[in-house]
């Protein structure tokens, strides 16, 4: 929606031209209407929501921000609320109820019929981020004994308020899932062909359990290119489906969580600009504290060597470069491994393969960096005029050797820790840059000082 169109709509609203506004708005996609409403004040929000055609109102509602949803629900009559909840898909209602205070949940439940109330209550009880918590039960059931023609008639009769009709589900008498069939197959079948002949059954059925994590659900949907994925309970009875639009949101949500964990932030579901300063600070301070205290050990290593560092000028100056190069090398490989594990491209069984690969990469990177660093130190030495003493060259050698070994250690630790975390059922994403850096820093300094002790005369 361009700013001009927004202004035009706002003008209609301000001049109370509600009929024109309604017919203008009906021309837009529900996502754009929600965008429009998001920019209005509270009174305007309610006004616009109320003039929307009834069939559009629920769709727009599901795209609004929780605060606006809450404001609308608090302001409309019980009758309007009943109509709204009636038109909303169960999964959108549950999403909304998970975000609002208890009194609003009670009010919504009070105006819904007994059956819907029971379903909502059941859905609210599934663990957060489980398949159960994100599914909807508004799906089309058909009988395997239907002909294609009967199936189409059945979809026309029962499908209008279902979240999707593009995949239909066949259940047996005990409500266990025995087949799935795409509307496409039904449309292309000859009218008297049986559903049981065209449905996917047996091993070809792809489904998840209510307790499965949403990340797993997304992985399965992505792998099999599904438009919706059936969710079954522990006795294999179909209880719901997760549709692709929610899968896409979950994928972005899970990626955001990985980005946050890799920066050692406590994951946060709200958008950055909407998160209060205190929450932002709280999400960051825990790990900053832990890492700061861990740096004590690196400090102690330096302290133990401080007297010697004071004797030879130039040794201290190389510390940041060694630490940074080690940290960056480790960060690169841990990122690749964490991502590979998340996408299923790498499994724990590949550990030795990964280690061998990283060892070779580390030898290449390490020697290239060590050589480049020697050249760098030599050039800077010439410029600053402190070259040519044999001791100076030995310092270069110590720094470059330390860098070589630091890169190798960093690469091996960078690939090992995420896989170790996975092995122990921890989140590999925590073993990213900051964590690796803290560990590699200490090791890099120990190598550096060890080499200095062995090769230099103090």
Angle between helix 319-342 and 390-423 (nearest 10)? 20
If you search the block for the tokens 């608090």, which residue do you land on? 74
When asked if residue 365 is in the footprint of a copy of itself (CB under 8 A), the reply is yes
The interface mask with a copy of itself, positions 193-232, x = CB under 8 A, is: -------x-xxx-x--------------xxxxx-x-----
Report the DSSP beta bridge partners of residue 229: 242
Distance of closest approach, residue 380 Cβ to a copy of itself, in angstroms: 7
Of 178, 291, 430, 456, the one binding a copy of itself by CB under 8 A: 291
306 near a copy of itself, rule: CB under 8 A:
yes
Please report whether residue 55 would count as binding a copy of itself according to CB under 8 A.
Answer: no
Between vectors from CA 175 to CA 169 and to CA 176, what angle results, nearest 5°? Answer: 75
Backbone torsions φ then ψ of 79, nearest 5 degrees: -65, -45
In angstroms, give the least distance from the CB of 348 to a copy of itself.
13
Instruction: Map tokens 């000082």 to a residue.
Output: 449
**Helix (H), strand (E) at residue 231:** strand 228-232
Other C-beta atoms closer than 10 Å to the C-beta of 175 total 14
Per-residue interface string for the shown chain with a copy of itself, residues 417-436, x marking contact by CB under 8 A: ----------------xx--
Rg of the chain taking only CA atoms, in angstroms: 31
139 counts as binding a copy of itself under rule CB under 8 A: no
Bridge pairing between strands 141-142 and 167-171 = parallel
Binding segment for a copy of itself (CB under 8 A), chosen from 90-98, 114-122, 234-242, 304-312, is 304-312
Binding mask 308-347 for a copy of itself (x = CB under 8 A): -xx--xx-xxxxxx-xxx-xxx-xxxxxxxxxx--x-xx-
Which tokens belong to 202?
């047996």
Cβ atoms 233, 78 nearer than 8 A: no
Q: Kindly tell me which of 90 and 111 has the beta carbon lying closer to a copy of itself.
A: 90
- Asked if 23 and 51 touch (Cβ cutoff 8 Å), the reply is no
State phi, psi for 201 to the nearest 5 degrees.
-140, 180
Segment 251 to 280, residues that bind a copy of itself, using CB under 8 A: 251-252, 255-256, 258-260, 262-265, 271-273, 277-278, 280
Told to check if 355 binds a copy of itself by CB under 8 A, we report no
Q: Does 456 bind a copy of itself (CB under 8 A)?
A: no
Among 244, 355, 394, 456, binds a copy of itself (CB under 8 A): 244
Q: Does 165 bind a copy of itself (CB under 8 A)?
A: yes
The residues near 20 (Cβ < 8 Å, ≥ 6 apart) are: 12
Note the residue count of the chain. Answer: 458
Q: Does 5 bind a copy of itself (CB under 8 A)?
A: yes
Residue written as token pair 């009769």: 157
Q: Using the rule CB under 8 A, is 295 a contact of a copy of itself?
A: yes
**Span of 12-20, 45-53, 289-297, 416-424 interacting with a copy of itself by CB under 8 A:** 289-297
Q: Does 7 bind a copy of itself (CB under 8 A)?
A: no
Q: How far is the CB of 106 from a copy of itself (least distance, A)?
A: 30
Q: Taking the alpha carbons of 190, 193, 195, 198 in that order, is the dihedral positive or negative?
A: negative
């Amino acid at each position: 929606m361009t700013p001009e169109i927004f202004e035009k709509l706002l003008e209609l609203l301000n001049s109370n031209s509600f009929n024109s506004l309604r017919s203008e708005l009906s021309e837009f996609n529900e996502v754009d209407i929600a965008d429009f409403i998001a920019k209005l004040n509270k009174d305007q929000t309610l006004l616009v929501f109320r003039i929307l055609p009834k069939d559009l109102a629920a769709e727009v509602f599901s795209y609004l921000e929780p605060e606006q949803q809450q404001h609308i629900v608090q302001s409309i009559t019980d009758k309007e609320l009943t109509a709204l909840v009636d038109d909303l898909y169960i999964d959108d209602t549950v999403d909304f109820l998970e975000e609002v205070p208890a009194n609003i949940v009670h009010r919504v439940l009070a105006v819904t019929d007994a059956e819907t109330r029971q379903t909502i209550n059941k859905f609210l009880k599934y663990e957060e981020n489980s398949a159960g918590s994100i599914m909807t039960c508004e799906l089309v059931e058909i009988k395997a004994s239907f002909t294609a023609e009967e199936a189409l008639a059945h979809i026309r009769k029962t499908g209008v308020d279902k979240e999707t009709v593009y995949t239909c589900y066949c259940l047996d008498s005990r409500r266990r899932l025995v087949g799935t069939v795409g509307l496409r197959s039904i449309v292309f079948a000859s009218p008297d062909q049986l559903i049981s002949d065209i449905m996917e059954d047996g091993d070809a059925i792809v489904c998840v359990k209510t307790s499965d994590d949403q990340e797993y659900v997304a992985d399965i949907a992505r792998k099999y290119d599904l438009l919706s994925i059936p969710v079954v309970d522990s006795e294999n009875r179909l209880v719901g489906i997760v549709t692709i639009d929610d899968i896409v949101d979950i994928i972005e949500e899970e990626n955001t969580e990985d980005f946050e964990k890799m920066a050692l932030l406590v994951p946060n579901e709200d958008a950055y600009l909407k998160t209060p300063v205190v929450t932002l600070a709280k999400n960051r301070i825990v790990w900053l504290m832990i890492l700061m205290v861990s740096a004590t050990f690196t400090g102690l290593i330096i302290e133990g060597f401080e007297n010697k560092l004071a004797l030879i000028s130039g040794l201290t100056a190389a510390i940041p470069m060694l630490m940074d190069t080690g940290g960056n090398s480790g960060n690169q490989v841990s990122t690749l491994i964490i991502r590979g594990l998340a996408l299923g491209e790498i499994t724990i069984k590949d550990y030795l393969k990964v280690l061998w690969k990283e060892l070779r990469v580390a030898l290449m990177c390490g020697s290239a960096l060590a050589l480049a660093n020697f050249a760098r130190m030599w050039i800077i030495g010439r410029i600053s005029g402190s070259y040519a003493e044999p001791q100076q060259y030995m310092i270069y050698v110590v720094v470059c050797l330390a860098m070589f070994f630091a890169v190798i250690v960093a690469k091996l630790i960078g690939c090992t820790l995420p896989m170790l975390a996975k092995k122990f059922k921890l989140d590999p994403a925590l073993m990213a840059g900051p964590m690796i850096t803290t560990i590699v820093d200490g090791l890099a300094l120990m190598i550096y000082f060890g080499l200095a002790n062995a090769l230099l005369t103090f």
